């Protein structure tokens, strides 16, 4: 029996999921939660095999809840986390994959495909690259090019995304924020935010330290 927890702030979606999944003979919905903090609390009381996690929820967002789950030593058996989202923002999805999510699906996914995925993931047979046709439109495209920890570079406490590495390489090449913004077709303010986030992930204070660390760890030589 696959034990499921559902973290979703929209009551209609949350309860509909619980009803649909509850009809499956090998699936049991043990609890539902409307916020990330509620999901965390219920998980501690009632462990599950899989949590279906929304990204945007009040009190505690999905990614924050995932990070708490991974770090909380009181949660001995870590659940598999599957993101259900309406958002197509690559950065959000990459952050979710880097924070412990096994897979991300759009909420439009039909029930028969979702239950198939749940079974394959639990059986360690999940490989979205092998699924074509109608299936692909329910799996965000970014997931076909970056798969959680296999393709994310660990820096000690955080993971660098493809965008992080791209910016870091350009910093190491001596590019200014303005030059990076022009190449990536983003605003200079956006690049400044990315750079600040990158420094935090690397645990450095400024560009010189970031460049030094990148060379010492061989990060910029890593290819995806």
pLDDT for the residue 128? 61
pLDDT for the residue 222? 45
pLDDT for the residue 101? 87
Q: Which of 222, 211, 201, 212 is nearest to 174 (CA)?
A: 211
pLDDT digits (tens, 9 = 90+) for 26-54: 999 999 999 999 999 999 999 999 999 99
pLDDT for the residue 46? 95
Domains of the chain: 2-147 (3.40.50.2300), 153-221 (1.10.10.10)
pLDDT for the residue 13? 95
pLDDT for the residue 7? 97
Please return the burial class of 118, using the count of CB atoms within 10 Å of its CB with bins 0-12, 13-18 and 19+.
buried
Residues of the chain with pLDDT below 70 are 88-90, 126-136, 141-159, 161-162, 220-224
DSSP string, 127-192: -GGG--GGGGGGS-GGGGT--GGGSSEE-SSSEE-HHHHHHHHHHHTT--HHHHHHHHT--HHHHH
pLDDT for the residue 152? 47
Q: Which of 47, 99, 33 is nearest to 78 (CA)?
A: 47
């Amino acid at each position: 029996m696959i034990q499921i927890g559902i973290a979703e702030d929209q009551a209609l979606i949350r309860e509909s999921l619980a009803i649909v999944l509850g009809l499956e003979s090998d699936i049991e919905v043990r609890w539902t939660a409307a916020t990330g903090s509620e999901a965390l609390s219920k998980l501690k009381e009632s462990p599950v095999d899989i949590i279906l996690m929304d990204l945007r929820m009040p009190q505690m967002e999905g990614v924050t809840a995932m990070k708490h789950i991974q770090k909380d030593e009181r949660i001995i058996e870590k659940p598999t986390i599957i993101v259900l989202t309406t958002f197509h923002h690559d950065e959000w999805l990459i952050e979710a994959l880097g924070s412990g999510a096994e897979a991300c699906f759009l909420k439009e996914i039909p029930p028969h495909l979702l239950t198939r995925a749940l079974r394959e993931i639990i059986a360690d047979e999940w490989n979205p690259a092998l699924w074509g046709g109608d299936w692909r439109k329910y799996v965000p495209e970014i997931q076909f090019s970056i798969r959680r920890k296999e393709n994310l570079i660990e820096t000690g406490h955080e993971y660098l995304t493809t965008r992080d590495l791209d910016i870091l390489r350009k910093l190491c090449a001596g590019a200014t924020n303005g030059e990076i913004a022009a190449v990536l077709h983003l605003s200079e303010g956006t690049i400044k935010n990315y750079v600040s986030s990158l420094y935090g992930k690397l645990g450095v204070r400024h560009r010189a330290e970031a460049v030094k660390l990148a060379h010492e760890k061989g990060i910029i030589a890593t290819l995806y």
